[in-house]
Structure 1
Amino acid sequence: MNFDLTQYPPIVQQIAGYALQGFDLAKSWLLSPAAWSQFAILVGAYLLAVLISRRLRPALKNLIDPAGLQNIFTAPRLFILQFLPLILPLLAYALTGIGEQVVRSMFDSGAVIAFGKRLFLFLAVRAFVRDILNDPFLKLLGRFMLLPIAALYAVGLLDLVSLQLTDTVVGVGNIRFSLMSIVRGLIAGSLLFWLGQWSNSQTSALIQKQEMRPSIRQLLIKTVEFMIFGVAFLVLMNVMGINLGALAVLGGAIGVGLGFGLQKIASNFISGVILLVEGQATVGDYVALDGGEQGKIVKMTARAAILETFDGRWIMVPNEDFITTRVVNYSDSGSANRYEAEFSVSYDTDINLVPDIISTAVSKHPEVLQLPYPPDCELRGFGDSGINFAVEFWVNGLDDGPNKYTSDVLFIVWNALKDNGIEIPFPQRIIEIKGGLPMAPKETT
């Protein structure tokens, strides 16, 4: 078959040439007795693999399946159990390999059966991506990277494509690398990113279970995270074939940028490390800054701390503010804080009875502490309308959000005063009119 393709672009001519080669190869296979014998061996190997897998899969499942038993071997057995869908294509691949050795010894040719063996391997990869990979990122990686590679290998074009990618070289500045390096970098980078995320989450969960100060725990988590992704970056550069010495110019540019444009980021990063080491403010503490920001620290990142206010808003505060400004740490993680509730009583009250009545009543609140000090009712002064008192009390936590300690105590004060017949005054004023009231005008008749 000859076609005149001179008027078409070179890429079209090249594709047409590959298509003609494939057509000639298929025609030679169809007309060759050796090829037909290889087709027969392929079909026989597949049917034998189907027969064996139908008997082998149930037996292996009954042997491996933990059947509700929970022990140290449960997780490994469940992990092995999910690979059972690979039995059929891998059996077909193995049996075809045996048949290939027989055919090559008889006919000194095995192109057809070699193609069938690669095809069974492609089916095994397809089953692995479809039935075994459960992680969404790994499944996406397998669908768009692993399956195309397996398909190219099955049709015998993998070496040709690899050679073309290796010969195509691109450069950025003084760094030069081939397209194959980019492909390897994409594959390795994706796997290293997923592995780094997975190992970081596993390590963080392990550190969170350890008994240590929250600040040290956060410091360890961040240190492990930087180490994991730092090692991943070095491995990725090695896989792509990039000489790290060639990055010296880029590293110098980054250093200059840190010295000028990124000094705030560097300052916040170092401040974050200092906070984690000292532990003066860590996750779970309630803090208030000079700038007016206040809330509970719910997360500390490399650049900033995340505060959650009692009204549900999140405030991002740079780490540097915790070092350079005054910070009030209420330490909401179980520390005791003192509050007071003010009230007034009538001037007709025997004020000597009020302290004992109020202190005893407030002490009955389940959240009010007796240590470091029990509730204390103090006389504060004589007001315009009544006598002013205040009861001081200690509680664990903060008087806001889910805890309304002052409100509870004021309810207790109200009920205690009512039960003892003590009046809470309202504002009263005495008005004196100098010269008396004006006389009403007399009516004229």
Structure 2
Amino acid sequence: MDFDLTAFPPIVQQIAGYAIQGYELALGWLLSPAAWSQFAVLVVAYLLAVVIARRMRPALSSLIDPGERRGIFSAPRRFILRFLPLILPLLAYALTGIGEQVIRSIFESGAVIAFGKRLFLLLAARIFVRDILNDPFLKLLGRFILLPIAALYAVGLLDTVVLQLSETVVGVGNIRFSLISIVRGLIAGSLLFWLGQWSNQQTVAVIEKQREMRPSIRQLLIKTVEFAIFAIAFILLMNIMGINLSTLAVLGGAIGVGLGFGLQKIASNFISGVILLVEGQATVGDFVELDGGEAGTIVKMTARAIILETYDGRWIVVPNEDFIVTRVVNYSDSGSANRYEAPFSVSYDTDINRVPGIIERAVATHPEVLSEPYPPDCELRGFGDSGIDFAVEFWVNGIDDGPNKYTSDVLFLIWNALRDEGIEIPYPHRVVEIKGGPVPAAPE
């Protein structure tokens, strides 16, 4: 085949050259007895692999599957069980390799059978991505990275593509690298990112189980491990891409200048967050109130800010620095108890000497009311316009709002106790005095 392609762009001429080579190769295979024998070997190897896989896979599945049993080897056995779909393409690959040795010894040629082996590897990669990978991110990488690489390898173009990418060099400032370095960095960076996320999750799970540690220390360890994991991943990525870390000195200097000017607040908040974690002044789960009026439960502590959740479900993002430079009231620090009081009044007809004992015994029956540091204490507060004012003080572990209604519960106990004892809770009384005698009725 001879075509005049001089008028077309070089890329078109190159693609046409590959197409002509493929056509001539296919034509040679169709007319060659050695090629037909290799096709026969591929078909026989695949059919034999199908027969063996159908018998082998159920036996291996029953042998490996732990069922409902739980033990130290149960998780590894379930992990191995997921790879059983690869038996068919790998068996076909192995049997084809055996047939390749025979064919090469007879015809001294094995191009067709080598192409078939690469197709079996492509089939294995497809099964691996479709049936074995469960993580959405890894499945995405497999679909858009592993399968295209396997396809290029199967048609024999992988080395050509790698060579073209290696010869294409780009640069940014004093940093120069090839396109293959970018591709390698994207692949390695994606895998390192996923591995870093997975490692961080496993580490967080282990640290969270250490209940003997203070919550703030656990949070500090989690942040330290997270920073260390991704710092190591960054260094590995730079080495994989072939970038000398010394070339990043200019970038590091620019970052330093940025910290000195525009990023000083971020740096201040980061350091404040570390101080908070070390000192343990506040941690996740504490109910705090800031000097500016912000109040809520700490639900998350990040490198820059602390997130508070209010009782109405809203989130407030408070910079870490505010916890250092302003006054903060922590109602939950170190599990300390909180004191509340419930005011009430009784009628002037009441024997007030009985009231403290009645109320203290009633409030003490509440399951959340503590006897330490002090038991319930009923105090006389004053003589009001309509009744005698009392208040009972009580201690609880927790905040009186949101899921807890301590004061409401105590007021119910007070009402029921006073009612059972026949003590009246007064309502306002008003005396109206009319001066000047009665008002004459209007004539009909």
Cα displacement string for residues 349-381 of structure 1 (whole angstroms, at most 9, x for unaligned residues): 222221112112211222211111111111111
Q: For residue 415 of structure 1, what is the aligned residue in structure 2?
A: 416
Are the equivalent residues in 2 in contact too, given 1:42–1:96 (CA < 8 A)? yes
Aligned to 1:222: 223
Identity, % of aligned positions? 81
Farther-moved stretch of structure 1 (282-291 vs 56-65): 56-65
Unaligned runs of 5+ in 1: none
Shift of 1:55: 2.1
Q: What is the CA distance between 1:278 and its match in structure 2? A: 0.6
Aligned position for 2:436: 437
Q: Could you tell me which residue of structure 1 aligns to residue 25 of structure 2?
A: 25
In structure 1, the residue corresponding to 2:100 is in which secondary structure?
A: helix
Moved more, 253-262 or 38-47: 38-47
Aligned match of 2:40: 40
Q: Quick check: 374-383 or 347-356, which moved more?
A: 347-356
Rate the CA distance shift 1:156–1:442 in 2: closer, same or farther, 3 A.
Answer: closer
> How far apart are residue 112 of structure 1 and its match?
1.1
The CA deviation string for residues 279-338 of structure 1, in whole angstroms up to 9 with x for no partner, is: 110111111100111111111111111111122111111111110000001017743111
**Against the structure 1 CA distance between its residues 443 and 35, is the aligned structure 2 distance closer, same or farther, given a 3 Å change threshold?**
closer
More displaced stretch, 376-385 vs 249-258: 376-385
**What are the residue-to-residue correspondences of 1:45-444 with 2, within 5 Å?**
45-211=45-211, 212-331=213-332, 334-431=335-432, 436-437=435-436
1:204-249 deviation digits (Å, cap 9, x = unpaired): 0011111211111111111100000100011011111111111110
* SS of corresponding position for 1:437: coil
- The letter for the 2-side match of 1:288 is E
Amino acid at match of 1:118: R
Amino acid of the structure 1 residue aligned with 2:236: V
CA 1:36–1:382 in structure 2 vs 1: closer, same or farther (change >3 Å)? same
User: What TM-score results when the alignment is normalised by the length of structure 1?
Assistant: 0.95
Q: Is the 8 A contact 1:333 1:397 kept in 2?
A: no
Question: Alignment partner of 1:339: what SS?
Answer: strand
Q: In terms of mean alpha carbon deviation, does 99-108 or 173-182 score higher?
A: 99-108
SS in 2 for 1:284: coil
Shift of 1:67: 3.3
Shift of 1:138: 0.7
3-state DSSP class of the match of 1:369?
coil
Conserved? CA contact 1:338–1:393, under 8 Å: yes
Contact 2:307 2:317 in 1 (8 A): yes
Shift of 1:4: 2.9
Shift of 1:339: 0.5
Amino acid at match of 1:111: A
CA distance in 1, matches of 2:405, 2:441: 62
Deviation at 1:423, TM superposition (A): 2.2
For 2:13 and 2:248, locate their aligned partners in 1 and report how far apart those are by CA, in whole Å: 41
CA distance 1:440–1:424, change in 2 (3 Å): closer
Is the contact made by 2:281 and 2:333 (CA closer than 8 Å) also made in structure 1? Answer: no
**8 Å Cα contact 1:268-1:304 kept in structure 2:** yes
What is the RMSD of the two structures over their aligned residues, measured on CA atoms? 1.9
Alpha carbons of 1:443 and 1:231: their partners in 2 closer, same or farther (altered >3 Å)? closer
Offset, 1:417: 2.0
Is contact 1:332-1:398 (8 Å) kept? no
- What are the Cα deviations for residues 367-411 of structure 1, in whole angstroms up to 9, with x where unaligned? 211111111111111222222111111111111111111111112
CA distance in 2, matches of 1:437, 1:287: 61
Contact 1:284/1:333 (<8 A) preserved: no
Q: Given residue 9 of structure 1, which amino acid in structure 2 is its aligned partner?
A: P
Q: Structure 2: how far apart are the matches of 1:439 and 1:419? A: 43
Q: How big is each residue's C-alpha offset from its partner over 1:245-282, in whole Å with a ceiling of 9 and x where there is no partner?
A: 11110111111111111111111111111111111101
Structure 1 pair 351–113 and aligned structure 2 pair: CA distance change class (3 A)? same
What one-letter code is carried by the residue in structure 2 that aligns with 1:256?
A: V
Q: Give how far 1:424 is off.
A: 2.0
Amino acid at match of 2:113: I
Aligned residues: 443
Whole-Å Cα distance in 2 between the matches of residues 76 and 248 of structure 1?
Answer: 45
- Which structure 2 segments of 5+ residues have no match? none
Give 1:2 deviation, angstroms: 2.3
